[in-house]
Amino acid sequence: MKRIAVIGSTGSIGRNTLDVIRQFPDKFRVAALCAHSNVELLSAQAREFKPELVCLTGQAKTNFHKPGKKAKFFRGFLGLEEMLEDRRIDMVVMAIGGSSALLPLWKAIELKKEIATANKEALVMAGGLISRLAAEKQVKIIPIDSEQSAIWQCLEKEDPAKLEKIYLTASGGPFRLYSKAQLENITLKDALMHPRWKMGKKITVDSATLMNKGLEVLEAMCLFKVSAGDIKVVIHPESIIHSMVEFVDGVVMAQLSQTDMRIPIRYAMSYPQRLKGKARKLNFFQIKSLNFAKPDFEKFPCLALAFSAARDGGTMPAVMNAANEVSVAAFMEGKLGFISIAEIIGKVMRRHRSLKDPTLNDVLDADSWARIEALSLIGE
């Protein structure tokens, strides 16, 4: 029985994680739940799964009612870090989006918990530091993100030295076929209509700008110890192939499945075993054909910015990520146009002098600096 802490239990990945746990009550048990502000759902989840530990990181309008007298309740991000120390937690499923995952993830690795992460921002900001810490603590970071899970599975029984290239597939988002002029008038409602995946709002906007794919390039660099030059982004609108790897002998391995996040979540939790679960299967006779195209870096400059940050390294990825978070939030509030998201990120990056081999504090400083820069540029 694996005892799981679901961090971000009320979000899209969190709810899917609980769904997987619900299907395998003899394999997994919820030891801890953590949500940011959705108290109603957190309370309902706590009543159903009866965890020993519950945490609320943000402010909530209503009070949280403990499911039983025994459950321990924690508040805030410091409370979350304290909660992770509990020995009844075997695995931490990091299902919160954004940079706020960085410190709890760091803490979970320090505590040598098993990690399954859907969060990309932490790996983007501090990829080098996180892989070093994970190696030192002998902690495996198992990806939940569908593309990274695909690469993980393709590389599983292989010699990493024989890997030549990663083909990171991308659906292309809702604006794949838009002209540059059409991109200028995009509204939030348009941006939230993802053709393949149902996800949280921020990641859906990131998918529309292709920044999501850019973040995944940096995520893959951290998880698989490759450089930006080893990764090729391929537009694959059907999202059936979740990514591919090419080896030195010219062989390409791919991982295919339906677009259902419960598949990579289940695998991350049961790794190295495969569990038989409820999942729609692929029907190749219905699919008939799969398509591939090159990404358009000019129409989607966020992807180019991410590759540039990946090549710069140091604190630049953290700066890019912070500027993106601020710009996407401003876009969602109607304060910034869709195409200005990339303009703001580019400007902030050009103002930044990247620090080589940063410490965790350098990364956090760069993150705060970039937020202030982005906010002031948006204010102008």
Q: Per-residue string for binding with Mg ion, 140-179, x by CB under 5 A?
A: -----xxx--------------------------------
CA-CA distances (angstroms) from residue 25 to 49, 83, 178, 326, 328? Answer: 10, 23, 46, 40, 38
Give the span between the Cα atoms of 123 and 111, in whole angstroms. Answer: 18
For residue 114 the two structure tokens come to: 């098993």
* Length, in residues, of the chain: 380
Instruction: Tell me whether residue 147 or residue 246 sits nearer to Mg ion (CB atom).
Output: 147
> Strand runs (DSSP E) across the chain, as ranges?
2-7, 28-35, 53-56, 72-75, 91-94, 114-117, 141-143, 163-170, 231-235, 241-247, 252-256
Give the span between the Cα atoms of 205 and 210, in whole angstroms. Answer: 8
Give the span between the Cα atoms of 5 and 51, in whole angstroms. Answer: 9
Instruction: Tell me whether residue 29 or residue 120 sits nearer to Mg ion (CB atom).
Output: 120
Instruction: Tell me whether residue 97 or residue 314 sits nearer to Mg ion (CB atom).
Output: 97
Residue 50's φ and ψ, nearest 5 degrees, are: 45, 60
Instruction: Tell me whether residue 121 or residue 145 sits nearer to Mg ion (CB atom).
Output: 145
Closest distance between Mg ion and the C-beta of residue 120, in Å?
Answer: 8
Give the span between the Cα atoms of 377 and 161, in whole angstroms. Answer: 44
Closest distance between Mg ion and the C-beta of residue 223, in Å?
Answer: 12
For residue 106 the two structure tokens come to: 């760091």
Rule CB under 5 A: say whether 206 interacts with Mg ion. Answer: no
Closest distance between Mg ion and the C-beta of residue 56, in Å?
Answer: 27
Instruction: Tell me whether residue 54 or residue 211 sits nearer to Mg ion (CB atom).
Output: 211
Instruction: Tell me whether residue 67 or residue 143 sits nearer to Mg ion (CB atom).
Output: 143
By CB under 5 A, how many residues form the interface with Mg ion? 3
Closest distance between Mg ion and the C-beta of residue 96, in Å?
Answer: 16
Closest distance between Mg ion and the C-beta of residue 140, in Å?
Answer: 20
Closest residue by beta carbon to Mg ion: 145
Closest distance between Mg ion and the C-beta of residue 82, in Å?
Answer: 31
Binding site for Mg ion (CB under 5 A): 145-147
